[in-house]
Amino acid sequence: MNKAELISAAAAKAGLSKKDTEKAVNAVLESITQALKAGDKVQLVGFGVFDVKSREARIGHNPRTKEQINIPASKAPQFKAGKALKDEVAK
């Protein structure tokens, strides 16, 4: 399911126009992005938790040349599904 399909499905379930639903979906995604950028985590009870994972700097190897390369520290978003979501998908 892509973003357009998500908006169509949500509009049908909520009985809203696609334009209003698109604004709502974009606002939710932007809010989650801003919270993660600020270092906060977003917890949606029953659905899951969006969080930022910090990765330490490390030394890696180029598989072609076997040369060592320095991989800088970074941050990456992660999602951990909640119990209710896991149970619903497992049905």
State the pTM of this model. Answer: 0.79
Per-residue pLDDT band at 80 (split at 50, 70, 90): very high
The model's pLDDT over 28-79, given as tens digits with 9 standing for 90+, comes to 999 999 999 999 999 999 999 999 999 999 999 999 998 999 999 999 999 9
- pLDDT of 14 reads 93
Phi and psi at 10, nearest 5°, equal: -65, -40
**48-55 and 42-44: which strand pairing?**
antiparallel
What is 41-91's CATH superfamily? Answer: IHF-like DNA-binding proteins (4.10.520.10)
Q: What whole-number distance in Å separates Cα of residue 58 and Cα of residue 73?
A: 7
pLDDT at res. 29? 96
SS3 content of the chain, % helix, strand, coil (to 5): 45, 30, 25
| All structural domains of the chain with their residue ranges | 1-40, 41-91
CA distance 58 to 61: 10
